[in-house]
Amino acid sequence: MLCGGAAAIAFMVTLGTSSWTTEAAAKGRAEWKTEYSRPGEVPFPEENPYTAEKSALGHKLFFDPRLSGSDYISCGTCHNPSFSWGDGLPTGFGHKMTKLGRRTPTILNSAWGELMMWDGRFESLEEQALGPMGAEAEMNQQLDSIVEELAAIPGYRTLFNMAFPADGLTIENIGKAIATYERTIVSGIAPFDRWIAGEESAMSSAAKRGFDLYNNKANCVACHAGWNMTDSGFHDIGLPDDDIGRGNVLKNVVKMQHAFKTPTLRNIVQRAPYMHDGSLGTLKEVIDHYSDGFTRRDSLSDEMKPLKLSEDEKADLLAFLLTLEGADPMVAAPILPANDQVPGAWLKRLSPAAGGKAETPECRTARLHLRRCK
């Protein structure tokens, strides 16, 4: 299997593990296929509905390094569309090339997510968008001054007034705009989707056998369920490290110790290395881990049981996972609003990267070119 699920666990508490397993095993391929139909539209919350203006603004903010204290890190630095919205590294890097403790999670299909980050410490995309921005080790931005910084850029003043006519540029609206753009990042149609829709030739015989394994013997569906292949739950999958994950948030819940959020498997082939710590380099290593290579402890998910898959079964399961790569659209880098070019108009702008002191245009130019500014 490829993780454990909160919904599945709740189901088994009511009916018992054996009854759930029996029902799952009783389903055939045709019945399982009905569980994986793509949704017809992207969900947006009532408190932050979609508008084209808001999404366009969020697109610019997402790729603008001026949202970081150093002016060289953007959201897109770590969430690179070329790596399925990750960074291709075992663990991320932040401010001053600080090595972070966990792998950068993808934001792909996050519109369907619930709690955000590997440990679920943020309750919404809006909150998550601001979290790394204000984190000292990540983007190192002072949230109480970023509004002033962006307000010094005429183009942003206009864009915020268009997207948010009632209140314009605020820290809350920065988070809303970025979250709106992130919700539009949806995985494209994959061979698996075409097969689900009735195109039998879209998947090989090996991949179809892998689908059967995924839903039955390997029991991946216990956590990676539905069209997005995730239950958005948190589970200890037996990785041998000291990071307690969700246990830092729910300190007294045994099953949340060493528990991490179940990631989507969409476009999974593009996101090596794998797991929250980037410790597994290939999908074959991931399958081997779930088959019989995990660490046993009290917090281990109840779904983690030795699968003893044969090499042929592992190959079929891998063949299925490869069909989840979507035909995603190219993502264009946005044209960012220019700094104010009126002489003297932005001399009073405060820069967190300059220690909160007023900086001259010459000083800012020197800082952007990584030269020491006196």
Give the residue numbers marked as catalytic.
138
Q: Determine phi and psi for 93, rounding to 5 degrees.
A: -125, 145
- 199 contacts: CB under 8 Å, gap ≥ 6: none
The Cα–Cα gap between 231 and 246 comes to 15
Return left, alpha or beta for 121; rule: phi > 0 is left, psi -120 to 50 is alpha, else beta.
alpha
Return left, alpha or beta for 330; rule: phi > 0 is left, psi -120 to 50 is alpha, else beta.
beta
Distances (CA, A) of 175 to 1, 59, 151, 162, 208: 35, 12, 15, 16, 41
**Would you tell me how many other CB atoms lie within 10 Å of the CB of residue 163?**
21
| Positions of E strands within the chain | 234-235, 260-261
Q: What is the DSSP letter of 235?
A: E
